[in-house]
Structure 1
Amino acid sequence: MINVMIVEDDPMVAEINKQYLAKIDGFRLAATVHSVPEAIPSLGKYDIQLILLDIFMPRKQGLELLAYLRENNLEIDVIIISAASDLERIKRALRYGVVDYLIKPFEFERFNAALAAYLEQTRFIGKQDSVSQQELDNLLWHREEAVIAEELPKGLAKDTLKQVWDAIQELKRRPFSTDEVANVVGISRVSARKYLNFLKDLGILEVKVIHGTIGRPMYQHEFNPFKKHLIKNFL
């Protein structure tokens, strides 16, 4: 059983993370704290092995806790769960060795994929004294395929996903909007958004929100070619 600490200043988000975690076997919520100063003295007290860490918090940000862990050589893994989507913070988190990075808002499927992949890696490393190159490659490069379910979420249809996917192939050379996909496929904007969110959760699309002076915010999607192999599980 892996002991988990949630470090999140928003009580509602902390509760969602807690409920999601309770659905996944192999993990035990050992502590929930709401700031970095509160987290540090709790690490040894609860024998924490994994932290679900927000970045934007009062007093000290989550990256400061990451720095503390590495500077003190603490063997505690971290999954970032944050609204921070700028590349500078993401790169800093990756340099500190986070095992995954979830951008809010996200669905349970993406949360489950992150935790399942981490559990698979932890169990694999715990049983091995040495590995072959192929075993290591499978663990590092293809672990997403082992943990992502092949069934579409409720409300999504394979035929429509195929049409959305074909539309993305037409539009992927530049950032594209939800409306553009809806127009190519011939479905409503609301329906197109559901499919694009699903692909975002898989990591196949990266999304930026552009706030105009009036009207609703615009979502710009960018295609991530390094994750396109994941779509084969659903088409």
Structure 2
Amino acid sequence: MIKVMIVEDDPMVAELNRRYIERIPGFLFCSIASNGDEALDILKKTQIDLVLLDIFMPSMNGLELLSKIRELNYSVDVIVVSAARDNKTIQTVLRNGAVDYLIKPFEFERLQSALVSFKKRLKLIKKNTNLSQSELDQQIFSGISNENVELPKGLDRNTIKRVWDQILEVKGEFTAETMATSVGLSPVSIRKYLKHFQNNDLLSTEISYGAVGRPVYKYRCTREQE
């Protein structure tokens, strides 16, 4: 369970956010802090995984608290929940490592999306000691649109999708020749697309040798969910 602390000086807003958190599987509400000093005291005594942080608070505001959390090197992630929408505040928050920023008022679905995305990223990082570029882009830097990525020369975006959809239809191994027949491309063309998927860690390759010793490359999908 991901342990969550709410840092919010408005009791009604804090209570609403608490109810939101309790509706989302995988998250455990732990405490509410009404100011920065109280939040630091809780972090000192309790293992918290995620903080929902307001900006406008008396004494120590959210920006100062976030900076203090980083200074003290607490192992905790932060999602800012605030009515502040000026670019300076948002830039300061991002520079201090907040994983998301929600502008008040917001719908439950937006908070749910933020928490679910955070849970997926946390699970991915804990599960793998080494990550590929495609895994980082897909799960963590998902804001990078594939539409803006420049493709290797000679590859067509629509054909990539057609080939990938056909790969997902295959159960087990396949060869370039069988895939070329299924998609309607020449073996030379299909190998370019298969190479593209290999480079993005979406296909694995094994070499086998027939009766006459000719090598046969067999492909297998490794990232069906992507």
* TM-score bracket for this pair, using the shorter chain length: 0.5 to 0.7
Structure 2 CA distance for partners of 1:15 and 1:53, relative to 1, 3 Å: same
Q: CA deviation at 1:141?
A: 3.1
Please state if 1:27 is matched with 2:27.
yes
Separation of aligned partners in 2, 1:20 and 1:143: 24
Contact 1:31 1:46 in 2 (8 A): no
Separation of aligned partners in 2, 1:42 and 1:141: 31
Q: Which residue does 2:217 correspond to in 1?
A: none
Aligned residue runs from structure 1 range 17-56, under 5 A: 17-56=17-56
Moved more, 118-127 or 136-145: 136-145
Aligned to 1:40, what secondary structure does the other structure show? helix
Separation of aligned partners in 1, 2:11 and 2:49: 22
Unaligned runs of 5+ in 1: 146-235
Structure 2 CA distance for partners of 1:143 and 1:87, relative to 1, 3 Å: closer
Q: CA deviation at 1:140?
A: 2.4
Aligned-pair identity (%): 50
Aligned residue runs from structure 1 range 128-167, under 5 A: 128-142=128-142
Contact 1:117 1:143 in 2 (8 A): no
Separation of aligned partners in 1, 2:20 and 2:78: 16
Q: CA deviation at 1:107?
A: 0.1
- The one-letter code matched in structure 2 to 1:67 is S
- Count of aligned residue pairs for this structure pair: 145
Separation of aligned partners in 1, 2:69 and 2:87: 22
Q: Which residue does 2:81 correspond to in 1?
A: 81
Contact 2:137 2:144 in 1 (8 A): no
Structure 2 CA distance for partners of 1:100 and 1:135, relative to 1, 3 Å: same
Aligned to 2:30, what secondary structure does the other structure show? strand
Separation of aligned partners in 1, 2:14 and 2:47: 20
Separation of aligned partners in 1, 2:144 and 2:109: 12
Q: Which residue does 1:94 correspond to in 2?
A: 94
- The one-letter code matched in structure 1 to 2:126 is G
Q: Which residue does 1:119 correspond to in 2?
A: 119
Separation of aligned partners in 1, 2:143 and 2:104: 22
Structure 2 CA distance for partners of 1:144 and 1:117, relative to 1, 3 Å: farther
* TM-score (normalizing by structure 1): 0.60
Q: CA deviation at 1:143?
A: 7.1
Q: Which residue does 2:62 correspond to in 1?
A: 62
Separation of aligned partners in 2, 1:144 and 1:72: 31
Separation of aligned partners in 2, 1:126 and 1:81: 26
Q: CA deviation at 1:42?
A: 0.6
- The one-letter code matched in structure 2 to 1:49 is D
Q: Which residue does 1:230 correspond to in 2?
A: none
Q: CA deviation at 1:126?
A: 0.6
Per-residue displacement from partner, 1:10-42 (whole Å, max 9, x unpaired)?
011001100100000111111101000111111
Per-residue displacement from partner, 1:188-215 (whole Å, max 9, x unpaired)?
xxxxxxxxxxxxxxxxxxxxxxxxxxxx
| Deviant stretches of 4+, over 4 Å | none
Separation of aligned partners in 1, 2:34 and 2:101: 19
When Rg is computed on C-alpha atoms for both structures, the one with the higher figure is 2
Q: CA deviation at 1:144?
A: 10
* TM-score (normalizing by structure 2): 0.62
Aligned to 1:75, what secondary structure does the other structure show? coil
Q: CA deviation at 1:44?
A: 2.9
- The one-letter code matched in structure 2 to 1:100 is D
- The one-letter code matched in structure 2 to 1:62 is G
Per-residue displacement from partner, 1:124-174 (whole Å, max 9, x unpaired)?
1110010111111111233799xxxxxxxxxxxxxxxxxxxxxxxxxxxxx
